[in-house]
């Protein structure tokens, strides 16, 4: 259960790309808490200096400001590293529809550079962030690995391309790669600001600041919202997974399903705010429902998430109340 008792060989060294972002900074912190060294490689394009500053003084933490689009930077960062967790990418489906060329270069080429550098530097395990968006328009619920539909955005295509490279790097070069298909992650440090902010932190910020949140569509869309600690667990357990499980992708979620409209009213109640939302148009590239079958990750990675939505959202709200 969880990740707080996981053990790695003494002196293990980790590299987290995108470590100044929401998920990456939480992974870096968890590695330091376990007592191992971690290097964070981030270009601070969507990440925050504050996430780096919070860890800067801690023993075993190194920060490199650099871009994974640059192979030399990746090669240097991977020197002497045992485990890579590649979180660096630009998120947001709508933004990828506005700027597909950048997504291609940043998310695909960047990840490929990191895989190549990991191979050349003899990294033991390469774990990388994929996304539930790779399921595209496949209607079946829950989502099961191997049943993917047509893609709906350039973002989803970047994640699928990374998975294909992940498969090839195992097959051709023997690099142990593990793709983790995150389903709508939420929790402490997720950025609530800006047009592309994820829905939970955006609603919380707007409600706390007296603004009226807009729900895209009718609010009856559902998602498998996943607390960030479950994602940390999946990353660390993938680093310890057997080689036979490599070259594959895994759903990482809790395995539940929450409706957006219910979340909205739950947040209002928890924050003691009474306010009706505005309903806007559906967003292009979005699917109506999503929830995950997590049995593959349970079986092959030993993933056993501790936090259901109710447990996670309480912690997230408490964090935002203190930090917003």
Please state, in angstroms and rounded to a whole number, the distance separating the CA atoms of residues 306 and 188: 16
Report the side by side order of strands in the sheet with 61-65: 61-65, 37-42, 13-17, 83-86, 125-131, 176-182, 248-252
Beta bridge partners of residue 138, listed in sequence order: none
The two structure tokens encoding residue 161: 């391309």
Active site annotation includes 264:
no
Q: Does 185 participate in binding ligand NAD (rule CB under 6 A)? A: yes
Q: Scanning the structure block, which residue is given the tokens 């050349």?
A: 120
User: What residues numbered 266-295 form the site for ligand NAD, per CB under 6 A?
Assistant: none
Q: Binders of ligand NAD: how many residues, by CB under 6 A?
A: 30
Segment interacting with ligand NAD, rule: CB under 6 A, options 66-74, 140-148, 260-268, 289-297: 66-74
Distance of CA 66 to the CA centre of its chain: 19
Of 46 and 206, the one with the shorter C-beta distance to ligand NAD is 46
Of 167 and 275, the one with the shorter C-beta distance to ligand NAD is 167
Segment interacting with ligand NAD, rule: CB under 6 A, options 40-48, 56-64, 141-149, 273-281: 40-48
Judging by DSSP bridges, how do beta strands 13-17 and 83-86 pair with one another?
Answer: parallel
Q: Does 255 participate in binding ligand NAD (rule CB under 6 A)? A: no
Distance of CA 255 to the CA centre of its chain: 16
The two structure tokens encoding residue 155: 């973002």
Taking CB under 6 A as the criterion, the residue among 12, 39, 46, 221 binding ligand NAD is 46
Q: Does 113 participate in binding ligand NAD (rule CB under 6 A)? A: no
Catalytic residue among 128, 155, 303, 320: 155
Q: For every residue of 48-89, which 3-state class applies, written as one string?
A: CHHHHHHHHCCCCEEEEECCCCCHHHHHHHHCCCCEEEECCC
Q: State the nearest-atom distance from the C-beta of 54 to ligand NAD, in Å.
A: 13
The 18-37 contact track toward ligand NAD, x by CB under 6 A, reads x-xxxxx-------------
Judging by DSSP bridges, how do beta strands 185-186 and 226-227 pair with one another?
Answer: parallel
The single-letter DSSP state of residue 218 is T
Residues 6 or more apart in contact with residue 322 via CB below 8 angstroms: none
Q: State the nearest-atom distance from the C-beta of 31 to ligand NAD, in Å.
A: 15
Q: Does 89 participate in binding ligand NAD (rule CB under 6 A)? A: yes
Taking CB under 6 A as the criterion, the residue among 54, 67, 205, 295 binding ligand NAD is 67
Segment interacting with ligand NAD, rule: CB under 6 A, options 56-64, 87-95, 200-208, 276-284: 87-95
Instruction: List residues binding ligand NAD (CB under 6 A).
Output: 17-18, 20-24, 42-47, 67-69, 87-91, 106, 110, 129, 131, 182, 184-185, 191, 198
Give catalytic residues, as residue numbers: 155
């Amino acid at each position: 259960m969880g990740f707080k008792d996981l053990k790695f060989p003494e002196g293990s060294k980790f590299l987290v790309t995108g470590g100044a972002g929401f998920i990456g900074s939480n992974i870096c912190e968890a590695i330091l808490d376990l007592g191992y060294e971690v290097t964070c490689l981030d270009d601070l394009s969507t990440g925050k200096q504050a996430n780096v500053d919070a860890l800067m003084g801690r023993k075993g933490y190194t920060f490199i400001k650099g871009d994974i689009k640059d192979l030399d930077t990746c090669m240097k960062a991977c020197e002497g590293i045992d485990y890579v967790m590649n979180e660096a990418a630009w998120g947001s489906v709508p933004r990828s529809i506005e700027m597909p060329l950048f997504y291609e270069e940043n998310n695909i080429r960047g990840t490929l550079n990191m895989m190549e550098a990991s191979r050349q530097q003899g990294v033991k395990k390469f774990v990388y962030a994929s996304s539930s968006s790779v399921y595209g328009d496949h209607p079946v619920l829950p989502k099961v690995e191997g049943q993917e539909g047509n893609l709906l955005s350039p973002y989803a295509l970047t994640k699928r391309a990374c998975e294909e490279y992940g498969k090839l790097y195992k097959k051709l070069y023997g690099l142990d790669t593990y793709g983790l298909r995150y389903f709508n992650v939420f929790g402490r440090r997720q950025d609530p600001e800006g047009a592309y902010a994820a829905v939970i932190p955006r609603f919380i910020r707007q409600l706390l600041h007296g603004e009226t949140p807009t729900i895209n569509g009718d609010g009856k869309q559902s998602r498998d919202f996943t607390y960030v600690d479950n994602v940390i667990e999946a990353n660390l357990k993938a680093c310890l997974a057997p080689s036979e499980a490599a070259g594959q992708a895994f759903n990482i979620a809790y395995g539940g399903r929450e409706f957006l409209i219910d979340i909205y009213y739950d947040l209002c109640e928890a924050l003691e705010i009474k306010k009706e939302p505005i309903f806007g148009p559906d967003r292009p590239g979005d699917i109506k429902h999503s929830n995950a079958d997590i049995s593959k990750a349970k079986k092959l990675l030993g993933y056993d998430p501790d936090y259901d939505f109710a447990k996670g959202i309480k912690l997230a709200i408490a964090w935002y109340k203190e930090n917003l």
